[in-house]
């Protein structure tokens, strides 16, 4: 691995210490509720919400004094009740290839990772987490070895975007040539086990008066929680990605236990029924290349048959190893011939470039140590109790 990776462990923003209510990350309705609570005249709440929302999400302000269209006495009142602090960034790593990984402490013992991946073109995607850990246990995935700590709230999902925007210096939203243009729910966790919060977070992330990221630029990736696929599409208007990884039930159930609950036939039907599916809004199927497991020509043939009639492309992901993993990545030659076969059948089949591997930020490598922290906290508490 390269030695030029920049490791920056210094918190960029100090941990919030106040007990004030945190506004950053909240949606419009919650902000309105808070304003009512502190006694803002009900008929003015809508207008004030609009102003504050715009300051937080368009300008990224960090102090109420920056809200210049709000009179000083009200700013003082807001300051007394609320804070615009961000959560603590426990660790920030920058890869030699420009990928940035953030470990964010949302609350004591709850740490999440998000990864910013700049593209060679003008775009860049932020890979966000929807849960801390995951209840599913896909055998090739590091997150799958971490038990679920909890679902993230909508606010905590939005905060991941805010932190990346802060770090990239991309305020205001109207700034031209922003690099953070897309959001992918491909971090820790299964977004379709947390659909309400994913949906609510997108209302804020996609709001044109706020963070302003278009719904077409959002991709939600699922391991295949069939009953949630259609409703999520209708609720969010997001692009769908399916972690497929195998085209027959026997193999898929072995490497992705969720397949036992929702087998391929049901999964593919949910894909065919995905709201808004068309040639310009294709589904992405992700397929991790595991040497000797799912990478043979007959696997490619099965895959092609399975995809028949679905507007889609296939992203081939070279397996990213993690400590203790049982798999090996397929040889590049094997991946290329697999890709050629899928391409020849009429499906775009790019091989995903592995990014951020020197900072352990590649697909499937995320695993916070929230679990360990909790265990050590428990030990400390036990010791205190003993004394
Ligand atoms: N839980 C959702 C969202 C996570 S997305 C899902 O499974 O779709 C993370 C993507 O990386 C998924 O496609 C996942 O299957 C893939 N992945 C997991 N572990 C990986 C690994 N070690 N190497 C490459 N890709 C991996
Ligand atoms: Fe969970 Fe997705 Fe990893 Fe499977 S691949 S364990 S669903 S995060």
For residue 204, the model assigns a pLDDT of: 98
223 lines ligand 2 (CB under 6 A): yes
What percent of the chain lies above the pLDDT cut of 90? 78
Is 141 labeled as catalytic in the residue annotation?
no
The secondary structure of residue 114, as a DSSP letter, is E
Tell me if 227 sits within 8 A of 267, measured CB to CB: no
Domains with residue ranges and CATH for the chain: 4-83 (1.10.150.530), 88-383 (3.20.20.70)
Q: 167 - beta bridge partners?
A: none
For residues 109-132, average pLDDT: 92
The pLDDT confidence band at residue 364, using thresholds 50, 70 and 90, is low
Q: What share of the chain is helix, strand, coil (3-state, %, to 5)?
A: 40, 20, 40
Which of 143, 151, 185 should be mutated for ligand 2, with most atoms under 8 A from CB?
143
Q: Whose CA is nearest to atom 4 of ligand 2?
A: 138
Catalytic residue among 34, 113, 156, 190: 113
For residue 374, the model assigns a pLDDT of: 47
Q: What are phi and psi of 60, to 5 degrees?
A: 70, 30
Tell me if 80 sits within 8 A of 64, measured CB to CB: no
37-46, 90-99, 253-262: least confidently modelled range: 90-99
For residues 199-214, average pLDDT: 97
The pLDDT confidence band at residue 373, using thresholds 50, 70 and 90, is very low
Helix axis angle, 264-272 to 226-236, nearest 10° = 20
Q: What is the pTM of this model?
A: 0.91
Distance from Cα 15 to the centre of ligand 1, integer Å: 31
pLDDT, tens digit (0-9, with 9 covering 90-100), for 42-57? 999 999 999 999 999 9
Helix spans in 60-128 (H): 72-81
- The helix/strand/coil state of 151 is strand
For residues 255-259, average pLDDT: 97
pLDDT, tens digit (0-9, with 9 covering 90-100), for 162-180? 999 999 999 999 988 899 9
Is 113 labeled as catalytic in the residue annotation?
yes
For residues 360-378, average pLDDT: 58
Alpha-carbon distance of 104 to 163, in angstroms, equals: 9
For residue 120, the model assigns a pLDDT of: 79
Tell me if 358 sits within 8 A of 313, measured CB to CB: no
Say whether the peptide bond before residue 172 is cis (omega within 30 degrees of 0): yes
């Amino acid at each position: 691995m390269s030695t030029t990776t920049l490791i920056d462990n210094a918190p960029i923003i100090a941990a919030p210490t106040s007990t004030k209510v945190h506004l950053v990350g909240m949606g419009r309705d919650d902000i309105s509720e808070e304003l009512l609570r502190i006694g803002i005249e009900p008929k003015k709440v809508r207008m004030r919400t609009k102003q504050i929302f715009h300051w937080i999400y368009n300008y990224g302000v960090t102090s109420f004094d920056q809200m210049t269209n709000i009179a000083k006495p009200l700013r003082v009142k807001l300051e007394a009740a609320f804070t615009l602090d961000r959560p603590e960034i426990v660790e920030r790593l920058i890869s030699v290839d420009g990928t940035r990984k953030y470990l964010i402490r949302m609350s004591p013992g709850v740490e999440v990772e998000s990864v910013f991946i700049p593209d060679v073109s003008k775009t860049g995607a932020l890979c966000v987490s929807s849960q801390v850990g995951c209840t599913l246990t896909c055998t090739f995935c590091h997150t799958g070895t971490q038990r679920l700590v909890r679902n993230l709230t909508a606010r905590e999902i939005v905060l991941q975007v805010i932190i990346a925007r802060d770090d990239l210096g991309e305020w205001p939203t109207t700034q031209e040539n922003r690099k953070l243009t897309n959001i992918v729910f491909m971090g820790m966790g299964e977004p379709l086990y947390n659909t309400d919060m994913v949906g609510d977070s997108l209302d804020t992330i996609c709001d044109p008066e706020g963070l302003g990221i278009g719904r077409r630029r959002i991709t939600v990736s699922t391991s295949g929680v069939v009953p949630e696929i259609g409703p999520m599409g209708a609720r969010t208007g997001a692009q769908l990605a399916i972690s497929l990884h195998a085209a027959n039930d026997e193999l898929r159930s072995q490497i992705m236990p969720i397949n036992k609950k929702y087998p391929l036939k049901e999964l593919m039907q949910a894909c065919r029924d995905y709201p808004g599916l068309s040639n310009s809004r294709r589904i992405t199927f992700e397929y991790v290349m595991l040497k000797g497991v799912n990478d043979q020509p007959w696997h490619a043939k099965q895959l092609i048959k399975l995809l028949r009639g679905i507007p889609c492309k296939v992203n081939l992901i070279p397996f990213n190893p993690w400590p203790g993993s049982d798999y090996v990545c397929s040889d590049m030659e094997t991946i290329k011939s697999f890709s050629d076969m899928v391409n020849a059948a009429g499906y775009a089949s790019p091989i995903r470039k592995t990014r951020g591997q020197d900072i352990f930020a590649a697909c499937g490598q995320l695993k916070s140590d929230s679990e360990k922290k909790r265990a050590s906290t428990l030990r400390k508490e036990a010791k205190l109790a003993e004394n």
